[in-house]
Structure 1
Amino acid sequence: MTKAAEELHLTQPAVSIQLKNFQDQFEIPLTEIVGRKIFITDFGKEIAITAENILNQVYAINYKTLAHKGQLAGCLKISVVSTDKYVMPCFLSDFLKQHQGIIEWLG
């Protein structure tokens, strides 16, 4: 939960609440707790794959819509050294503002 909260820039309780709310939609557990660790069940893994596929389809629809409007769209993947991850967004900010259909990913 802590790592997920950090990745999402949320508090740990906020992530726990969202996970519980999501879990409440299903009769089969998505996760299980063993000791102090949380594990994703097989059903949870299937739901995660399905959710990712749905999100990818939504992104594809958005990209196609922007492309038909003559705008650039897609995912911009950039690999940088660890210190550049703080500098690179400054260089890209104007480009990303002009082309809002571009999703930035720094890794």
Structure 2
Amino acid sequence: MNYTIHQLQIFLKVVQTKSITKAAEELFMTQPAVSIQLKNLQDQFDIPLTEVVSRQLYVTDFGNEIAILAERVIQELENINYKTQAFQGILSGKLRISSAST
């Protein structure tokens, strides 16, 4: 199995949006590019990750399990990048700001 991080990220976005077109828009990619990467990922498994029924994309149970694992893998890769920057003295992180109009 030779799937890439990029394929996992695309698959996760497809799972989140439940649409190849919406995933392509959010990833700033073309729809055919997302479809090709999704197909390349699916070809590495004997069990389908997604199904198309009446032009509607559905993620299979197996696909949902792979999505959970892919999300963990990507999170760990982000942790590696964070730790690397911290050791280099380039401390960075995510800042979330919220406000209320009271």
- Normalising to structure 1: TM-score of the pair? 0.68
CA change 1:79–1:14 in 2 (3 A) is farther
Gaps of 5+ in 1: 81-107
Alignment of 1:41 onto 2:67: no
Q: Larger C-alpha radius of gyration, 1 or 2? A: 1
CA distance in 2, matches of 1:78, 1:24: 41
1:10-42 per-position Cα deviation (integer Å, ceiling 9, x unaligned): 111111111100100111100011111010001
* Superposed CA RMSD: 1.6
Matched residues, number: 80
Q: Percent identity?
A: 64
- Aligned residue runs from structure 1 range 1-107, under 5 A: 1-78=20-97
Instruction: Point out the structure with the larger strand share.
Output: 1
CA distance in 1, matches of 2:98, 2:27: 20
3-state DSSP of counterpart to 2:95: strand
CA change 1:3–1:76 in 2 (3 A) is same
Gaps of 5+ in 2: 1-19
Q: 1:76 Cα deviation (Å)?
A: 3.0
Q: Does 1 or 2 have the higher relative contact order (CA < 8 Å, sep 6+)?
A: 2
- Normalising to structure 2: TM-score of the pair? 0.71
